């Protein structure tokens, strides 16, 4: 069932947006870049985000009664962070008290810097016989006066008496939302950091972010330590099904990788672990389950059911992640068993759900995640591409590291190679190089539309006929000494690109649109960053649109993680995306096989010109 979008209009700006039912007026305003003031993280405790509802539901919440006067309530004033939209609404936004700092992130997105982690410096009155409030009451009262709600667990409470008295009751409270993370002696507001993690099946990327400036202090990526247990999520799930020891083994492997990245980030930036208070982690559902030590087995069998889909906010110490001892882990929501928090991060980073442009977004990887649509209607699915795009199961394949062939041009009988590392000898072929080679062979006529490579006997006069060889009885094309592309490699690529192309086609068919209707095709993921758009079009990986409308948008999952780390407003948008996106399960569709067969071959060259 298609959920009806509701229109919200903000006066006096005459700005309007359409959002899913249940979205708050505060979040809806942020979807269109309207910076309604707030200091409490949208929790209804600072009272600064009030708006006057002129038309629409005017339900009064507990927070409204606490922060607004009876006269304001009677006149329709409500806290925008608490007021949810259940019908078309018009509201008046008062003159802004402040405009938060902003940074450009994601795909040309303006992000308001309002992190979930907040620091408040307070100078507390010391206890006396006349003032016998408890330590936590004393701190809580001071923070309430600043517009912050606060709750504390035992880990922080146990440190409070010592820290307050050693600091002369002049301290900085660190809050993650309304959760008290730490109380630090003196004024430490200048030191506040978090880490954004893109937890990929193959590669992990961690970025240390300065929560005050919005700047990245250090970035580090490395192979997922789970790689020895299989190249894709199905292999990892199969290993986890061996028993609790196997599940613990997988969790330990990924945690060791993440903690290794964290230690390197701290050293690179000269930042202390105890000043890193939060991490936002995106990844597919299986990776998040394995990180948290949750059995992923039900994801691998019909009806493909994850243990959780909602975002989680957990103490990092519960799994042993090496940030502040009371720091928190935030995950983004999961849309389905194979459309995870990484695609949600990508949709945040691209603004796909907030703009009228009709776009295809593909996070190209082992599990190709796809979204098609606009702010009017947005569909998402996953296509099991397999590891070919990562260079796996390719005879001379390798990861995109030094020595990998990442680009190929075939001209006038010459093979020109672009190798990672510059002037180094090639040692293998990475995913972008694989796509380039096949596309170039298609253009020069050595691979036909069915994917069959010609032999030297079939093309004796071709300028590149000397490169047509046979290896172990299989046709191949020689690129450099000891490095070649085989007929089987082409078939692997066809199955990988066919899976993703099918996912795109199914979603476009549901929407009733064609390639001519598309405004843009966005290629995300580490692989998508290096993919030649022309080559992607030639092999039929993406719809046949003009090349200038095929854009490589980089690691959008990681960008989305950074954006939601730096802005609770973006985080709220991410939390509300499941209500705005229709998840399509391909395995249950009768048209999948027919569509797959129709896109398995390569397009006729005239169709991609």
Among 559, 546, 498, 554, residue whose Cα is nearest residue 520? 546
Question: Within a domain: residue 312?
Answer: yes
In a shared domain, residues 323 and 199: yes
Cα(406)–Cα(531) distance, rounded to whole angstroms?
Answer: 9
Average pLDDT estimate for 557-585: 91
Cα(528)–Cα(532) distance, rounded to whole angstroms?
Answer: 8
In a shared domain, residues 460 and 497: no
> Containing H/E element for 17?
strand 15-19
Bridge partners (DSSP) listed for residue 360 = 372, 521
> Containing H/E element for 460?
none
Cα(593)–Cα(585) distance, rounded to whole angstroms?
Answer: 13
Question: Within a domain: residue 112?
Answer: no
- The CATH code of the domain that includes 139 is 3.10.20.880
In a shared domain, residues 269 and 292: yes
**Is 80 exceeded by the pLDDT of residue 231?**
no
Average pLDDT estimate for 54-72: 88
Buried-exposed string 462-486: b where 16+ CB fall within 10 A, e elsewhere = bebbebbeebeeebbbbbbeebbbb
Predicted local confidence at residue 232, as pLDDT: 79
- Angle at 260 (CA atoms; ends 267, 346), nearest 5 degrees: 100
Question: Within a domain: residue 107?
Answer: no
In a shared domain, residues 501 and 375: yes
Predicted local confidence at residue 2, as pLDDT: 44
Predicted local confidence at residue 331, as pLDDT: 97
In a shared domain, residues 254 and 315: yes
What is the reported pTM? 0.82
Average pLDDT estimate for 157-161: 93
- The CATH code of the domain that includes 261 is 3.30.420.480
Q: Which residues contact 577 (CB under 8 A, 6 or more apart)?
A: 333, 335, 344, 347, 348, 353
Average pLDDT estimate for 50-77: 89
* Sheet with 179-185: strands ordered across: 117-123, 170-176, 179-185
In a shared domain, residues 207 and 318: yes
In a shared domain, residues 487 and 507: no
Domain end call among 466, 492, 518? 492
DSSP result, 370-429: EEEE-SS-EEEEEE---GGGGTTTSTTB--SSTTEEEEEEEETTEEEEEETTSSS---EE
* Local structure of 249: helix, strand or coil: helix
**Is 80 exceeded by the pLDDT of residue 380?**
yes
Question: Within a domain: residue 337?
Answer: no
Angle between helices 244-269 and 233-240 (to 10 degrees): 130
Predicted local confidence at residue 609, as pLDDT: 45
**Is 70 exceeded by the pLDDT of residue 197?**
yes
Question: Within a domain: residue 473?
Answer: yes
In a shared domain, residues 422 and 518: no
pLDDT > 90: percent of the chain:
53
Q: How many structural domains does the chain have?
A: 5
Average predicted confidence (pLDDT) for the chain? 88
Average pLDDT estimate for 337-355: 91
For 523-576, give the secondary structure using H, E and C.
Answer: EEHHHHHHCCHHHHHHCCCCCCCCHHHEEEEECHHHHHHHHHHHEHHHHHHHHH
Residue identified by tokens 């002129």 is 54
Question: Within a domain: residue 341?
Answer: no
Domain that includes residue 155, residue range: 117-185
Question: Within a domain: residue 539?
Answer: yes
């Amino acid at each position: 069932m298609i959920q009806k979008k509701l229109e919200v209009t903000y006066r006096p700006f005459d700005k309007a947006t359409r959002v899913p039912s249940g979205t708050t007026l505060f979040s809806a305003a942020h979807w269109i870049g309207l910076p309604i003031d707030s200091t409490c993280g949208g929790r209804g405790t600072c009272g600064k985000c009030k708006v006057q509802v002129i038309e629409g539901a005017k339900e009064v919440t507990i927070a409204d009664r606490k922060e607004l006067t009876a006269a304001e309530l009677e006149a329709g004033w409500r806290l925008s962070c608490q007021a949810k939209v259940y019908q078309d609404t018009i509201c008046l936004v008062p003159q802004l008290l402040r405009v938060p700092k902003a940074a450009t992130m994601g795909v040309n997105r303006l992000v308001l810097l309002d992190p979930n982690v907040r620091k408040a410096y307070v100078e507390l009155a010391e206890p006396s016989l006349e003032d016998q409030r408890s330590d936590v009451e004393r701190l809580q009262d001071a923070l309430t006066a600043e517009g912050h709600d606060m709750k504390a667990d035992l880990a922080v409470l146990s440190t409070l008496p010592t820290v307050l008295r050693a600091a002369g009751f002049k301290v900085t409270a660190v809050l993650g939302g309304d959760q008290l993370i730490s109380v630090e002696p003196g004024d430490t507001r200048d030191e506040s950091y978090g880490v954004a993690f893109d937890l990929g099946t193959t590669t992990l990327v961690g970025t240390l972010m300065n929560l005050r400036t919005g700047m990245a202090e250090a970035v580090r990526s490395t192979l997922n330590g789970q790689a020895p247990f299989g190249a894709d999520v199905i292999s990892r799930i199969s290993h986890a099904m061996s028993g609790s020891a196997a599940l613990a083994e997988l969790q330990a492997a990924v945690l060791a990788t993440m903690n290794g990245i964290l230690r390197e980030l701290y050293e690179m930036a000269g930042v202390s672990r105890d000043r890193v208070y939060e991490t936002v982690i995106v990844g597919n559902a299986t990776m998040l389950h394995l990180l948290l030590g949750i059995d992923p087995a039900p994801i691998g069998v019909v009806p493909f059911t994850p243990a959780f889909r909602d975002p989680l906010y957990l103490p990092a110490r519960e799994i042993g992640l090496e940030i502040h001892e009371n720091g928190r882990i935030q995950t983004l929501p999961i849309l389905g068993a194979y459309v995870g928090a990484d695609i949600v991060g990508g949709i945040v980073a691209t603004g796909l759900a907030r703009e009228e442009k009709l776009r295809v977004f593909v996070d190209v990887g082992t599990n190709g995640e796809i979204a098609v649509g606009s702010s009017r209607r947005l569909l998402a699915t996953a296509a099991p591409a397999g590891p070919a795009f990562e260079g796996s199961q390719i005879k001379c394949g390798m990861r995109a590291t030094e020595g990998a062939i990442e680009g190929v041009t075939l001209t006038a009988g010459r093979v020109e190679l672009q190798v990672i590392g510059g002037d180094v000898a090639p040692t293998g072929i990475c995913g972008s190089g694989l796509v380039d080679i096949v596309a170039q062979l298609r253009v020069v006529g050595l691979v036909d539309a069915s994917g069959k490579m010609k032999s030297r006997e079939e093309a004796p006069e071709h300028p590149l006929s000397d490169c047509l060889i046979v290896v172990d009885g299989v046709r191949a094309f020689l690129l450099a000494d000891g490095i070649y592309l085989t007929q089987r490699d082409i078939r692997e690529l066809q199955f990988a690109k066919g899976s993703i192309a099918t996912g795109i086609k199914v979603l476009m068919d549901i929407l009733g649109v064609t390639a001519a209707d598309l405004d843009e095709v966005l290629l995300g993921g580490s692989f998508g960053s290096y993919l030649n758009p022309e080559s992607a079009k030639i092999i039929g990986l993406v719809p046949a649109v003009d090349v200038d409308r095929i854009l490589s948008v980089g690691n959008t999952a990681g960008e989305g993680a950074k954006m939601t780390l730096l802005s609770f407003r973006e985080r709220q948008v991410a939390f509300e995306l499941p209500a705005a996106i229709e998840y399509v399960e391909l395995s249950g569709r009768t048209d999948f096989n027919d569509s797959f067969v129709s896109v398995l071959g390569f397009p006729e060259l005239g169709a991609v010109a």
